[in-house]
Each structure stands twice: as structure tokens, then as C-alpha cells.
Chain A
Amino acid sequence: MNSLNIFKYDLISFFTYTLLVTFGIVNIYSATYNESFTTVIDYTSIVGKQLIFLLACIVAFFLIIFTKNKFFDSISTVLYFISIILLLSLFIFGSERGGAKSWYIIGPISFQPTEFAKLCTALFLAKFLSIIQTDLKKTRDIFIVGVIILIPVILITLQPDPGSALVFFAFIFPILREGLDLKFLYFGIVIFLTLLLTLILGFTTISTIILMLFVLLNLYNRQKKIRVSFTTYLLSLIVFIGVSFSTNYLFENVLEQRHRDRVNLIIGKEVDNRGIGYNTNQSKIAISNGGFFGAGFLKGTQTKGKFVPRQHTDYIFSTIGEEWGFAGSFLTILLFTLLISRISIRADKQINHFRRIYSYCFASLLFIHFFINIGMSIGLVPSVGIPLPYISYGGSSLLIFSVMFFIYLNFDSSRLKED
């Protein structure tokens, strides 16, 4: 770090990052715009607060860029446990907002440890997977990885904030990348499909279909003279029917009504644009209102009328859609695609395992946010309350995702070094 050579940094990603953050500020300004208060430099306004956090990001940028990357390796274990403690103590000291106890509020500053846990889990997972002895073919290690991820997931679900907990499934990408057998993925997909189809078609239909498939499979195997033991058949059959059955049970008894509604809405079982479907419907109205070039900055009528709830946080994409139109939305999606792809491609070039796995974890987290947030804004994914990184209002989210990005920049700059 003696001579600062800026060309060793991933400037394209940095440029993309800057664009996204700037665009975010612009859209938060528009989404919270009020004709009677037009000053930007107001620390109590929403944009003002976001700008303060941006300032914090800039400070963090210099701190992180000039830190030796070895430091993150050594601190990751400690950070992970701190984050778990923070999540745990939420149940005692946390403040409730929107029905979930997921905030620490100290004076004017509020902080969401869930965001912090994303960073720490990524670092700690990278740390564990990079240990030379770790082998994802061993049941013991798979179990440990599962525990690392599930601890924050369970704690966050209990807040209750199942939406944010969902984000941790992003780590399936680095785990697979680091050697988990693909059959886990296939199995997961099959289970997921069974689950989804049970919700749509009902338990009876699905179990009938599963039975018929098994009979067909059996016949096929006999034809081809493939021997499969009867026990395996029976076991798999019980698992599938069991999943299908428990889906019904879980859906009806564990999930709350609002979650059920959101799922029902997406699978098309329910249409209610005034009640439960209001958010998604208003978001779609705003977006379709944008046309090709959009209504223009501060000119979106749906945005101005604040028809979309939480439009400066979770539904910020509706403002982009309305005021910047197809062109702006397209560009936003393009920037995210570029950023995620670039990070994951450059992660592959890392020689150091820890740094590679971390970068990959980060890219995966970005992807899952991108997928869920935009997906719900345009009505493809059930409504889940998570922010769009860099764009949505939210200090914790902006700061943590920026820190994650800066750590990536730091790691990437020394990608050809062993340690």
C-alpha cells in the first residue's frame, strides 16, 4: 500500500456502484418530495439522513481500502459472534418497527443488525469454507455450514422478519461452488416444486401425480433393467408425500395470514387490488404509467401522490419505473446484472480461497436482493420487505452493502496474491 495505484482496483464495478448510489439518492428525493419543503440539505429529511449515511460510507471506504486484507480474515470469527450477540440481544433491547423487533435505536441513529449479520455471515462462511480441511462431501462439514447459516436465519425469523431471513438462502451459491454435491440442489428444486404445486393444485392432486410418476419410473427402470431397492422407492415416496402434506400444514398453521395472502396473490389464487394486493397493484400502476421514457424527475403522478406504500424503501423501483420509464428501469437492471456478473467473474480469479468465497457470497447476496426486490415490485415474486441495495432508503442497508463492496474492492485489488 505504499504507492496508490488506482488501476489495480476494479474501476468498472466502482463506477457502477457510484451510479447506483447516485440514482438511489435521486429517487429517494423524488419519492419523498414534498412541494412545501424543497431543501435538500436538511438533516431531518429522509434524503438528508441518507446523505449522512453516504458520508459514513465515504469514511468507511478509506478505512477499508487502506486496511490489509489479512485483517478481515482474522476478524471474521469475532465479527460473526458479535453479530449473533447483536441479533440475540434484539429480543431484549430491540425496538419494534412495523411489527418486527429488528432495530436498535440510539438517539437519532437507528441500526438494523440483520444487515450487519449478512456481512458477518458472509465473512465467517468464507473463513470456514477456506479452511483446508473443510470438505463439503463430509456430512459433518455440511452440517456445520448449515449451522452457520441457520443460526442467523432462525434468529431473524423470530423477530419476526422472515423476509430478511430468506436472503440467507443466497449462500447456497457459494456452497455449491465450493463443492456441495449438485444433487442437493436438484433435491431442493424438486422439493420446492412439490411445495409450490401443492399450494396451487392441492394435496390430493399432487399425491396422485407423485404416485403415478413413481409407477411410471418403476416400469421404466424394469424395462432398462435398472435395479432399485424397494426400500429406496418407499422412502422417497414417503418423503415427497410427506413434503406435500406438511406444506399444507405449514401453510395453513405456521404462516401468518398476510404471508399466505402474499403467496396466494402471486400464484394467482386471489385478486384483491384494494386490500392485500394494494401494494403490488399500485406499484404496477406506477411502473406502467412510466411508458418508455418515464414521466420525468419529480413528475410521476403516482409517486407524488404516494400511492405506493413504502415507495422510498422497499418499493423504490416503482418510482424508477414511473419517473424514468422503461429506459431507466432497463438501465437499473443492466447495472445490477453488470455488477453481480463482474464480481462473480473476478471472484473466480482470486487465488486466495477466503477472498474468493467472500466475493462470491457478496455477489450472491446482491443477486438475491435484486431478484426479490424488483421481482415483487413488478408482481412476479410475493411481497417481501427487503431493500434494493444502494437504491432504497435505509442507512444500515446502504452502509453494510457499501462496506461489503469496499471489502470486495480491497480483496480484488490483491487477487493475484496468495495471502
Chain B
Amino acid sequence: MLKKYLLISSTIICSVIFIVKLATLQLSADSYFNSDFAIQEISIYPERGLIFDRYGELLVANQPMYDLIIIPENTVEFDTTELSKLINVEEKELRRKISNAINYSSKIPSLIKTQISKEENAFLQEKIWLYDGFYIRKNSVRNYIKPFASNIIGYTGEVDQTEIDAYNYYEKGEMIGKQGVEKYYENELRGEKGSKYFQKDRFNRVIGTYDNSNKDVDPIKANNITLTIDIKLQEYAESLLKNKRGGVVVIEPSTGEILTLVSSPTYESNQFIGQDRTTNFQKLLNDTINKPLFDRSLQAQYSPGSPMKILNALIGLQEKVIDENTTFTCNAGHFYARNAFMGCHNKFGTISDLRKGIYNSCNTYFAKTYKMILDKYKTPSEGLDTWANHIKSFGLGDYLGYDLFIGQKGFIPESDYYNRFYGNNRWGSSTTISNSIGQGEILTTPIQMANFTSAIANRGFYYKPHFVKKINGESIFNEDRVTTTIDKENFEIVIDGMVEVVNKGTARIAKINGINVAGKTGTVENFILIENEKKQLTDHSTFIAFAPAENPQIVVSVFIENGYWGSRWAAPIASLIIEKYLKDNIERKWLENRMVNGSLQSEYEKPYKFKTFTINE
């Protein structure tokens, strides 16, 4: 019996064992093996979107660059010293990169050197074929055509690990917007990459397409972006801020479009391209004195100074504690509490109504107005919160929601803040009197200053400021206007005052022939800590303006650090920008020269010389 069925039973037993083994190999849910090595996926990148200024001038394009790639498995023995000389990379660094590539995968391409210039590539092409397993791949990088508006446009760079983890899209070596519009509009500008699949053989050679290219995915075209920036005005404003620290923000009040945004000192986007990009970035990062990567227009929080008086005037009118004829007497200052005197540059015995208070920037007038606003309510908390509510309706103390990722909120104190500090209502209008003249606790950024000026120019509302006008030629901005808490009729009298600031007040230097400019100067006291000692520095110079006053087309806010007083730097710069924008040519060449050539560097060096120094002279 056994002999007769030995063959059959052996056959059947062995078949059953085979089938069980096959089932474990082929039917188990998680495939025990994978076939990554047989298929190569190559990403196809759409050309990154172009960036234009508001008038269609090309600001950012693309240029070819070359990457050196290694596939470790395809290499044969070679001399690393020779190669390191050829590609101009230190041998130690080259060895490190090669061993990284091997550790990553011996079959998958890895980058050895990126962004090789056209010239270097021409030289390399003749030699690199001698090295099996190395090849050069054409790549595309940004070409920043104008060396301006870099703080707005930003720059691109290689993705880092956090970005790879966060977005689930990028692979090592790919480019991503790192800053500015390049970052904020990354998805628009990059498009969607596609893929091509290739069949490889066991020698890791591509032997054809995979599945007749049926699995290939076409890339999706990137979008072009039109900025709200007027690049000529931007260029002009940047030239005016040379050798000064500070920011300029120019907004078209009827739309909220940002025409110009300057931060000085700044960087150039082109510094982030090519072989020196890493050293350049380190240099910029390490300059902790000038902070070129810090956007002073968006991120710097200053005390606003006297422009705050305009808002207090508006609140006073709205709260009906003053009207246009209300007068206060200024005795070169006044006692706002017992033994507490606030100085003023107006002469002893000056009697000012509202207009005069504005154009002479009388501290006394607005301190008293502020006091009346707060004292109108039963508790200082209630009074201050009403006041803060008005202020906040102008976008202060808020990020404003513009389309860049950087910014600061600023600070508008409310009752909570003082209650915590002094105890519940154990403070009053006198305690917080500095708020009336834009000193004290209030902090604002230059773009917030421009934004509230915009609301004044519009007589009661503003549009969210923004940097991008169109994507692929289509307008994208459709936000509603933001209304302030101040009634329309209260603005005219204040604007009258602001016009007089330029005509006969503190900023006569900002006067432009044939154009009614409304403005307000500011001179901001400021302090720093040197070796734990609070020291006062030369005052900041600030100026807000819009023009023409009756039909505003442009709003400017200028902030110059340690610029002595408002009309010394900020007002002339703002005025020149307005003239440039509305008239296109500058009549006051002497003023332009003084601004372009003027430098405040010696002022900035003072605190770092470790000597006693004097300020404001």
C-alpha cells in the first residue's frame, strides 16, 4: 500500500506545502517585500510662477542652474581629492556627502552640490563623465531681476526637514518659498509637480517607461503673481532710506493696496541664490546690530508719538468732550496732577483751539482731551476701555491680516493691564496720561501707522492692507471695508488741522506745490538698556501723511530711528515720496539730495562705543 501510493502522496503533500508557502508570500496583507528598486519615479517640476509689480513690470523670473547628482551604486572607484578640486568642494565635505548618499540609498540619486552656475557647469560638463555614477541635472532657480523690494518678495531655498514633515509634499533638495511673498504664495507659485515612472533593471539602469507611461502624472502649471507694489516708488523710497534705520509704508487708501514697503537696512533676494547663499545668510543672520532680516515696517514696535494726538482728537470729538472751538491754555506744559508736570514745546500762555493744537502739536491740549475722555466715565476702567475700543477700530493692536507671514500686534493698553499693575481702578487718567501723546505703553508698527492714516484719509474706514493684486491676471482682493467707531463728520476738522501741520505747523518742510498734504509729525522718546542701565537715545523721527487731502490717493507713514525730530527726516522723506508718486518728478532736488545722502550711522554707533554720549543734538 505505502509503496503504491508513495509517489502520489509525496506529490500531493509537496503541492500543499508549496501552496501554503505561496499564500504567505503573495496573499499576506502587508507585502513582505516591496519593488521600489524596480521602478524609478522622477518628479517633473513646472516652472515657478513669475512675479510682477502693479504695472506689469517683471520682478522675479527663473534662471537655469545645475545640480551634481550621485547614484552610489553606479560609481566605480575614483579619486575624491581630484573630484573635490574639480567641483570646488572641500574633500572632507565631499566624503561626508557621499557617505550620506550611500546611507540614504545606494540606488536612489542624491545631491552632492547644488546651484552650480552656467559657467561652472560648462567647465564641469567636460570632466564629469569620467566619474561613473555622477551626473549633472539641470535645475531652475529664481532670478530676482530688481534688487529692490526684497523684504516683500522674500526668497526661496532648499526645504528643511521640518518643512518636509509639515507639508507632506516636498522631497529632499526641492525648493520652497522661505520668506515674503515667495513663502506666503508658495502654493500658487510652485504649481503641482508631476511624476514620470521608469522601469529599471537589476543593474539600476533605466530600461524604459513603466506601464506605458499610464501612471505618469502631468505637472500643474504655476500661477503668476502681480504685486500691489509700485517698483519705481519702492526703489525711490529705498534710496531715501539709505544709511538710516527705519521703515516706510505707502498705501493706496481707496483699496488698501500697499504701494511701497521699505525696511532699512535690508538684504537682497539674490543673496540667497548660488554658491555663496549659505555664507550670505549666516552674515545677515549674525548682523545683530543692523538686523537686516528684521522687517522694521512690519515687525518693529515703536511708541507712535504725536500722530497719536490725531486719534485722541477724533475720539474727543466722537465722545463729545471737545468740539472744534474748545480751547486749552498751555504754559509750556501743564500740571496734570499734583507735582506732576508734562512739558510742551509751545510757549507759556499759548491758547490753542483744536486746529492749532494739532498743527502746533500741543502736548497740553491732548493730555487734557485724553483726561476728559477718560473722566467722562464713572470708572477709569470704563473710560480707558472706551478709548481703547476707538483706537482699536483703526486696526491698532492687531496683526491686520495682510498677506505676509511676519508681523507684530503692537500694544494698546486696556483696563486689565493697569488693574493688574496698580490694582483695581487704583489708577486714573493722570496715571496713564502718556497715552495721550503716543508715549507710554502704546506700541505700534509702521504699517499700523499707515493703516490708521488710511482710515483718516478715507474719513472713517480702511481696507485690509495687502501685497498681491492679481493671481494669473485676476484680481483676488474682495474684502469689505473696515469701519472705525468715529463718525464721518468728525474727520473734516481734524484733517483741516493736519493740512495746517504742513502749511503752517510743525512740518512746513513737507509742503508740495499745488498739492494739499495732510500730515502729522512725531518725535518719539526712546530708551535702551546698556549694561542693565536704562539710557535715553536720540528721539525717533516719525511722520504720517496723505495727499491730496480732499481726495486722498496716497498714504505714507515714515519712521526713522533716532532721527532727532519728526520734521528733520521723516516728514521730508514722506513728502518726497508723495511728490514722486503724484507728480513723478521732484522739484526740490536739494531736499532729495539731503535725504539720499544723509546718514545717521554715527547716531547708531553711539551706544556701542562704550563712552558717555549726548543725544538730540
Q: Which residues of A contact B130 (CB under 8 A)?
A: none
Question: Is B3 an interface position by the 8 A CB rule?
Answer: yes
- Which one of B12, B22, B208 lies within 8 Å of A35 (CB-CB)? B208
Closest to B200 in A: A305
Residues of chain A within 8 A of B37, CB atoms compared: 305, 307
A276-290: contact bitstring with B at CB < 8 Å (1 yes, 0 no)? 000000101101111
Q: Does A245 contact B (CB under 8 A)?
A: no
Alpha-carbon separation in the docked complex, A360 to B5 (Å): 11
- B472 touches A (CB below 8 Å): no
Question: Is B123 located at the chain interface by the 8 A CB criterion?
Answer: no
Chain A contacts for B38, CB-based, 8 A: 301-302, 304-305, 307
Instruction: Evaluate whether A306 and B7 lie within 8 angstroms (CB atoms) in the complex, with A182-B2, A380-B21 already known.
Output: no
Q: Which residues of B contact A379 (CB under 8 A)?
A: 21
Among B2, B14, B22: residue with most chain A CB under 10 A: B22
Q: A329 with B22: in contact, given A285-B33, A360-B7 (CB under 8 Å)?
A: yes
20 A–B contacts from the bound complex (CB under 8 Å)? A173-B6, A173-B7, A177-B3, A285-B35, A288-B28, A301-B199, A301-B210, A304-B38, A304-B207, A306-B201, A307-B201, A321-B25, A326-B23, A329-B26, A334-B15, A340-B7, A340-B11, A345-B8, A367-B7, A380-B17
Tell me which residues across on chain A come within 8 A of B340, comparing CB atoms: none
CB <8 Å contact, A378 and B6: no
Cβ of A333: which chain B residues have Cβ within 8 Å of it? 15, 18-19, 22
Determine whether B79 belongs to the interface, using a CB cutoff of 8 Å to chain A. Answer: no
A299 x B202 contact (CB < 8 A):
no
B59-115 residues with Cβ-Cβ distance < 8 A to A are: none
B531: Cβ under 8 A from any A Cβ:
no
| Of B19, B32, B201, the contact of A305 (CB 8 Å cutoff) | B201
Q: Is the interface of B mostly helix, strand, loop or mixed?
A: helix
A341 contact set on B, CB distance < 8 A = 8, 11-12
The docked-state distance in angstroms from the alpha carbon of A77 to that of B83 is 71
Task: Tell me whether A321 and B22 are in contact (CB under 8 A).
Answer: yes
A163 near B: Cβ within 8 Å?
no
Q: Is A330 engaged at the interface, CB distance under 8 Å to the other chain?
A: yes
* A344: chain B residues within 8 A (beta carbon): 7-8, 11
Q: A285-B34, A333-B19 are in contact. List 14 more A-B contacts (CB 8 A).
A: A35-B208, A182-B2, A288-B33, A291-B27, A292-B27, A301-B199, A301-B210, A305-B199, A333-B15, A341-B11, A341-B12, A344-B11, A370-B11, A375-B18
Does A43 sit at the interface, judged by CB under 8 A?
no
Which of A173, A177, A289, A326 is within 8 Å of B35, CB to CB?
Answer: A289
Which B residue's beta carbon lies closest to that of A181? B3
Interface residues of B in 290-339 (CB under 8 A from A): none
Residues A321 and B199 in contact in the complex (CB < 8 Å), given A302-B38, A360-B7, A380-B17? no
Q: Is B589 an interface residue (CB 8 A)?
A: no
Q: Is A176 an interface residue (CB 8 A)?
A: yes
Pick from A305, A337, A375: contact of B207, CB below 8 A.
A305
Which chain B residue lies CB-closest to A340?
B11
Contacts of B200 in A (CB 8 A): 305
- Contact residues in A for B22 (Cβ distance below 8 Å): 287, 321, 326, 329-330, 333, 378
- Decide if A395 is an interface residue (CB 8 Å cutoff): no
Q: Does A371 contact B (CB under 8 A)?
A: yes
A307-B38, A307-B202 given; A337·B25 CB < 8 A: no
- Answer whether residue B493 sits at the interface, using C-beta atoms and an 8 A cutoff: no
Interface centre among B4, B6, B38, B200 (most CB of A within 10 A): B38
CB neighbours (8 Å) of B602 from chain A are none
Q: In whole angstroms, what is the CA distance A285 to B17 when docked? A: 19
Instruction: Kindly list chain A residues whose C-beta atoms are within 8 Å of the C-beta of B33.
Output: 284-285, 288-289
Near A by CB (< 8 A), chain B positions 199-248 give: 199-202, 207-208, 210-211
- Asked if residues A176 and B6 are in contact (CB atoms below 8 Å), the reply is yes
Q: Which residues of A contact B161 (CB under 8 A)?
A: none
Residue of B nearest to A329 (CB): B22
The complex places the Cα of A333 from the Cα of B23 at a distance, in Å, of: 13
Given A35-B207, A307-B201, A177 contacting B25 (CB threshold 8 A): no
- Assuming the A-B contacts A287-B25, A378-B21, are A337 and B15 also in contact, with contact meaning beta carbons closer than 8 angstroms in the complex? yes
Question: What's the nearest-Cβ distance from chain A to residue B264, in Å?
Answer: 58
The chain B residue sitting closest to A291, CB to CB, is: B26
Nearest neighbor of A185 in chain B, beta-carbon distance: B6
Whole-angstrom distance between the Cβ of A236 and the nearest chain B Cβ? 23
Most buried by B among A291, A305, A380: A305
Within residues 357 to 411 of chain A, which ones have a CB less than 8 A from any CB in chain B?
A: 360, 363-364, 367, 370-371, 374-375, 378-380
* CA A149 to CA B4, docked complex, whole Å: 21
Q: Which residue of A lies closest to B22 (CB)?
A: A329
**Which residue of B has the minimal Cβ distance to A348?**
B4
**In contact, A367 and B199 (Cβ under 8 angstroms):** no
Interface extent on A, as a size class?
Answer: 35 or more
**Within 8 Å of chain B (Cβ to Cβ): is A336?**
yes
A305 contacts B3, C-beta separation under 8 Å: no
Tell me the minimal C-beta distance from A66 to chain B in angstroms.
29
B-side interface residues toward A, CB under 8 Å? Answer: 2-4, 6-8, 10-12, 14-15, 17-19, 21-23, 25-28, 31-35, 37-39, 199-202, 207-208, 210-211
> Measured between C-beta atoms, what is the minimum distance from A304 to chain B in Å?
5
Instruction: List residues of chain A with CB under 8 Å of any chain B CB.
Output: 35, 173, 176-177, 182, 282, 284-285, 287-292, 299, 301-302, 304-307, 309, 321, 325-326, 329-330, 333-334, 336-337, 340-341, 344-345, 348, 360, 363-364, 367, 370-371, 374-375, 378-380
Contact status of A288 and B31, CB under 8 A, knowing A307-B201, A348-B4: yes
Q: Which residues of B contact A291 (CB under 8 A)?
A: 26-27, 31
CB distance from B502 to the nearest CB of A (A): 76
Among residues of A, the one whose C-beta sits closest to the C-beta of B14 is A371
Q: Which residue of A lies closest to B33 (CB)?
A: A285
Residues of B within 8 A of A371 (CB): 10, 14
Q: Which residues on A sit within 8 Å (CB–CB) of B14? A: 367, 370-371, 375
Bound CA span A292–B32, Å: 14
CB distance from A185 to the nearest CB of B (A): 8
B527 CB, nearest partner CB in chain A, Å = 69
Shortest beta-carbon distance from A294 to chain B in Å: 9
| Chain A residues positioned under 8 Å from B2 (CB to CB) | 182
A288 touches B32 (CB 8 A): yes
- Of the candidates A177, A288, A289, A371, the one having the most CB atoms from chain B within 10 angstroms of its own CB is A288
**A177: chain B residues within 8 A (beta carbon):** 3-4, 6-7
Report the minimum CB–CB distance from B214 to chain A (whole Å): 10
Which chain B residues lie closer than 8 Å to A288 at the CB level?
25-26, 28, 31-33
Residue numbers in A under 8 Å from B211 (CB-CB): 299
Which of B3, B27, B34, B199 has the most chain A CB atoms inside 10 A of its CB? B3
Indicate if the CB atoms of B12 and A337 lie closer than 8 Å.
Answer: yes
The 7 closest A-B pairs by CB, nearest first: A301-B38, A285-B33, A288-B25, A305-B201, A326-B26, A307-B202, A305-B38
CB-nearest residue of chain A relative to B205? A305
A285 to B208: give the CA distance in the assembly, Å: 21
Q: Which residues of chain A are near B19, meaning CB under 8 Å?
A: 330, 333
Complex Cα–Cα for A4 and B103 (A):
70
Chain A residues positioned under 8 Å from B208 (CB to CB):
35, 304
Of B6, B23, B208, most buried by chain A (CB within 10 Å of CB) is B6
Q: A374 and B18 in contact (CB under 8 A), knowing A182-B3, A344-B7, A367-B7?
A: yes
Which residue of the partner chain, among A301, A374, A375, contacts B39 with CB atoms under 8 Å? Answer: A301
Report the nearest A residue to B23, measured CB to CB: A326
Nearest chain B CB to A138 CB, angstrom units: 18
